A and B are shown apart, each in its own frame.
Chain A
Amino acid sequence: MSLKTFFNVFIGLVFPVASVIVGLIYFRYSEQFILGFPILYFWMFLWFILTSVCISCSWFFFDKKNYD
């Protein structure tokens, strides 16, 4: 696996997956609210956006030239 592929998969896959799961475990019993939402839900909403950003980074920095 080349270094490029490693970084590609890291930013596009490993990072979002790990972040979501670690966050869910960390906040698992928390009853805190952020912007009115229970924190577990808020964490998910945040990552709806961030995951899209991560995948877009993979596309833009690594994949675009190979697929267009």
Chain B
Amino acid sequence: MAVAIFIGVLIFSLILAVLSKGKSKKDNVADYLVGGRSFNGFILFFLAIGEVYSIGTIIGFPGGIYAKGASYGIWFLGYILLAYPVGYFLSPLIWRAGKHYNAMTAPDLFKSHFSSRPLELLVACTCLLFLIPWGQLQFEGLIVALNALGFDFPPLMAVVIAGAIAYIYVAISGVKAPAVISILKDILLFAAIIIVGWAAFSKLDGVNNLFSTAKEHGASVSFGSTEQVTFSITTIIFQAVAFYCFPFIINVLFTSKSEGTIKRAQRFMPLYMLMYPFLIATAYFALVALPNIDNPNHAFIATSIELLPSWVVGLVAAGAALSGLLVLAVISLVVGGIFTRNIVTSIPENKQRKWSQVVVVIYLLISMLLTVSLPSLMLNLINTAYFGFGQILPGILSIIFWKRATAIGVGAGILTGTVIALSFQFAGISIFSINTGLIALCFNFPVLIIVSLLTSKNKQLLTPIVSVDIEK
């Protein structure tokens, strides 16, 4: 029964993908990558939310609390929430830059503003590299969702099917398919979370009881140590801003009709977080009732199986799966776009789409292989991706605010930051538990500033985007 519902939802989503193509005969790149910059507030809201409330939310977040306690729950909630006020001011400026340079991808911005091919290449490669853990994240969540349905596929097979579906969405109509399917997915996700959370609250006799019981069982309800506090707070600050450096977030921003549209949509996004209490309930329920889950990523689905009839589990798994698929679809678009526009630029326009698709398949395969051979706690994959993307932040802020920045400065900063972040991560180094990405930024910014000042002597000063007029 669960399986039937699951498959039904997926088929419906494919139909939506076809319908989303609409009467548009346009087959141009602008339409494919940024929806022709025509999305209104309603669609933008769901698409943007869709990228955030993805599989990391429904599977990763409860899993993180289950494995590591309240501090993980807090940083996750904190960075998403604080990204909204940051975004309210920052994203319209990023959009303005995109419009000004007619950019379709994040590296496009760097190419046009700094007129630098090497920098464009550097940013493009950084983006592609760190999109890999993000892809892994989706695949891990998808495997969890499929396992929940009792599909005991070998992970490799589950992952191949998922990759194929994601690919189909965008092959049909570019970014418009995810935009429309996002609405379906958000409705399902919202319903799934509330239903499972409500069941958890009821089973343990109400909110009060749930948490006190959990506390008695040894679950953590506050920070446990200074290290945890430091890690959480620094992670919140870092990720709230680094959020806007994600290539697909930038792509989503570019789809907006105007700056005002973005600002208007951002006002209400924090309210959408009001479904998180229900997710927290499931995590703590699992800590009480299901203390022996071997893979913490399974906490949410295991709770729903424990508490709910089979058909609801089907809906839940479908919502989770759609989330993963959608993000994979948008990532694939972005990967293809970056490859053909920013890495191998000499491909003629009519061949671009085909090459794009080849690169997408390769990217998906790499992520799948890593997922299967190196499974991780999902929230740790999130941290890793952020370390990398966050290093682009000084560059983006320079484009917007600093006329004296130079391509060499930005490039040097990115290299410095990325090298530091990756070395710390692989060597397991931690400085007072401060978020590694933030530490890397502390080197990135000064390098950017110093090198820029040294190399800007004879160069013409650039126009920072903040002094370009508001586009209505």
Contacts and interface: CB of A to CB of B under 8 A. Distances in A.
Contact of A16 (B85, B206, B221, B237): B85
A60 to B, nearest CB: 9
B450 to A, nearest CB: 25
A67 B236 CA distance: 30
B77 interface: yes
B77 A44 contact: yes
Interface of A: 9, 12-13, 16-17, 20-21, 24-25, 27-31, 33, 35-41, 44-45, 47-49, 51-52, 54-56, 58-59, 63, 66-68
B43 interface: no
B214 to A, nearest CB: 9
Contacts of A35: 207
B382 interface: no
Interface string B195-228: 0000000000011111110010000011100000
B81 interface: yes
Contacts of B472: 67
Contact of B268 (A25, A30, A44, A52): A52
Contacts of B237: 21
B208 A20 contact: no
Contact of B259 (A38, A40, A67): A67
Contacts of A49: 270-271, 274
A37 B214 CA distance: 11
Interface size class of B (residues with CB under 8 A): 35 or more
Contacts of A55: 84-85, 88, 266-267, 270
Interface of B: 70, 73-74, 77-78, 81-82, 84-86, 88-89, 206-212, 215, 221-223, 229, 232-233, 236-237, 240, 258-260, 263-264, 266-271, 273-274, 276-277, 280, 470, 472
A42 B223 CA distance: 14
A9 B277 CA distance: 29
Given A33-B211, A41-B73, A47-B81, 10 more contacts: A20-B78, A36-B206, A38-B222, A39-B222, A41-B74, A48-B270, A55-B270, A58-B88, A59-B267, A67-B470
A68 B260 CA distance: 7
Contacts of A41: 70, 73-74, 77, 221, 277, 280
A7 to B, nearest CB: 13
B85 A13 contact: yes
Contacts of B85: 12-13, 16-17, 51, 54-55
Given A13-B85, A24-B232, A35-B207, A44 B267 contact: no
B222 A45 contact: no
Given A48-B274, A49-B271, A68-B260, A17 B211 contact: no
